[in-house]
């Protein structure tokens, strides 16, 4: 279990992590989500005692990281796959880690096998692809057979096979009763991997919820309509007691409506439609809406799109 209590980190006048309180529980994969710069890596570094909190507290199975007797047997982490001595072979890298942490040498072959690196164990780590480096980093995290595992953006830069492998590995570790805490900035990826979600934005907690609840609360089905006779269409829809929202770019959206019903209604009143499409909002959209206010740097300068992301749709 990882417990955060008012965890805060300030760099100069930048509040990177702002009073985070939540618990990561065993037996499930907990996704740690937030846009770039939200404070995920800083939080993970504080969990591992690599950064000191400005205030607040974080405990691993009830203890601070620096009070753990054999840290690698309590918590294993992959923070930066490239943070490996490149001149060493994969096997030697793991042997050094094992020996300096009182872990039997025999464990090295086991973890090499688990991550599928046995055949390249003699190769120098500097020649490894990103995917192989990720696997080596994960082998290091698994070395002490810890009850808690933490991975920072483990699927970044991986091919679909690598992503599938990491996803299954995390789920099997959780099924063994371990605590698995994994960060990502992709909601779609987390939806396939995690059972629980912690979402942060600008260092602050935005959601701490089960994935099932998040999906239920955020799966919105709606019909998108576009017509050159917008005003007539609005009259028809309002006349039928249907609520319509403006979605920008001349598009209208009708929550929970049936496309057939709207199409027939428009036809009966001779209103031309240029678009009539049933839609389901994606979890990525729900995540963007949740975090829109807290994104540091907006990729889209278009204010209409920003409003859309923030969920500021107006009824018309």
Ligand X SMILES: Nc1ncnc2c1ncn2[C@@H]1O[C@H](COP(=O)(O)OP(=O)(O)OP(=O)(O)O)[C@@H](O)[C@H]1O
CA separation for the pair 242, 294 (Å, rounded): 33
> Measured from the CB of residue 171, what is the shortest distance to ligand X in angstroms?
22
Helices 130-142 and 106-114 sit at what angle, rounded to 10 degrees? Answer: 130
> Measured from the CB of residue 26, what is the shortest distance to ligand X in angstroms?
24
∠ CA 144-171-42, nearest 5°, is 65
> Measured from the CB of residue 29, what is the shortest distance to ligand X in angstroms?
18
> Measured from the CB of residue 257, what is the shortest distance to ligand X in angstroms?
37
Binding of ligand X by 80 (CB under 6 A): no
**Closer Cβ to ligand X, 42 or 227, answer by number:** 42
Q: Near ligand X by CB under 6 A, which window of 11-19, 189-197, 214-222, 268-276?
A: 11-19
Binding of ligand X by 38 (CB under 6 A): yes
Candidate list 2, 30, 39, 94; residue touching ligand X; CB under 6 A: 39
Binding of ligand X by 82 (CB under 6 A): no
Q: Near ligand X by CB under 6 A, which window of 9-17, 20-28, 53-61, 74-82?
A: 9-17
Considering only residues 163 through 192, tell me which ones interact with ligand X, judged by CB under 6 A. 185
Binding of ligand X by 46 (CB under 6 A): no
Asked whether the beta carbons of 149 and 174 are under 8 A apart, the reply is no
Candidate list 21, 36, 168, 188; residue touching ligand X; CB under 6 A: 36
> Measured from the CB of residue 179, what is the shortest distance to ligand X in angstroms?
20
Candidate list 8, 42, 227, 291; residue touching ligand X; CB under 6 A: 42
Candidate list 30, 33, 34, 132; residue touching ligand X; CB under 6 A: 34
**Closer Cβ to ligand X, 31 or 34, answer by number:** 34
Residue 179: CA atoms inside 13 Å, Cβ hemisphere, count? 20
The token duo for 256 is 């929970």
Classify strands 275-280 and 221-226 as parallel, antiparallel or unpaired. antiparallel
Beta bridge partners of 60: 2, 63
Binding of ligand X by 31 (CB under 6 A): no
CA separation for the pair 197, 105 (Å, rounded): 36
**Closer Cβ to ligand X, 50 or 240, answer by number:** 50
Residue with the two structure tokens 């278009």: 302
Sheet of 2-11: strand order equals: 14-24, 2-11, 55-60
Q: Can you point out the beta strands (E) in the chain?
A: 2-11, 14-24, 29-33, 55-60, 75-78, 148-152, 179-184, 196-201, 204-210, 221-226, 245-248, 251-255, 275-280, 314-315
Q: Kindly determine how many residues on this chain lie close enough to bind ligand X according to the rule CB under 6 A.
A: 12
Candidate list 2, 16, 125, 283; residue touching ligand X; CB under 6 A: 16
Contact residues: ligand X, CB under 6 A: 11, 14, 16, 34, 36-42, 185
């Amino acid at each position: 279990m990882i417990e955060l209590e008012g965890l805060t980190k300030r760099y100069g006048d930048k509040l990177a992590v702002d009073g985070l309180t939540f618990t990561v529980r065993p037996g499930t994969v907990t996704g740690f989500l937030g846009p770039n710069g939200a404070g995920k890596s800083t939080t993970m570094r504080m969990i591992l005692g690599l950064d000191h909190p400005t205030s607040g507290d974080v405990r691993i199975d009830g203890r601070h990281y620096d009070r753990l007797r054999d840290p690698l047997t309590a918590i294993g982490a992959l923070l930066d796959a490239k943070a490996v001595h490149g001149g060493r072979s994969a096997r030697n890298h793991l042997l050094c880690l094992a020996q300096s942490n009182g872990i039997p040498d025999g464990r090295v072959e086991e973890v090499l096998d688990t991550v599928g690196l046995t055949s390249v164990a003699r190769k120098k780590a500097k020649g490894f692809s990103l995917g192989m480096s990720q696997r080596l980093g994960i082998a290091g995290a698994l070395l002490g057979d810890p009850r808690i595992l933490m991975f920072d953006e483990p699927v970044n830069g991986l091919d679909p096979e690598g992503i599938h492998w990491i996803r299954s590995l995390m789920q099997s570790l959780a099924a063994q009763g371990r605590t698995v805490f994994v960060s990502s900035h992709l909601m779609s990826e987390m939806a396939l991997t995690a059972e629980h979600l912690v979402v942060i934005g600008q260092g602050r907690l935005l959601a701490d919820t089960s994935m099932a609840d998040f999906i239920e609360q955020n799966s919105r089905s709606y019909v998108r309509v576009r017509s050159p006779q917008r005003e007539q269409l609005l009259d028809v829809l309002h006349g039928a007691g249907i609520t319509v929202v403006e979605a920008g770019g001349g598009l209208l959206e009708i929550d929970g409506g049936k496309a057939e019903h709207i199409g027939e209604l428009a036809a009966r009143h001779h209103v031309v439609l240029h678009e009539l499409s049933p839609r389901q909002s994606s979890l990525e959209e729900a995540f963007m809406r949740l975090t829109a206010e807290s994104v540091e740097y907006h990729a889209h300068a278009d204010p209409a799109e920003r409003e859309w992301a923030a969920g500021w749709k107006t009824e018309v």
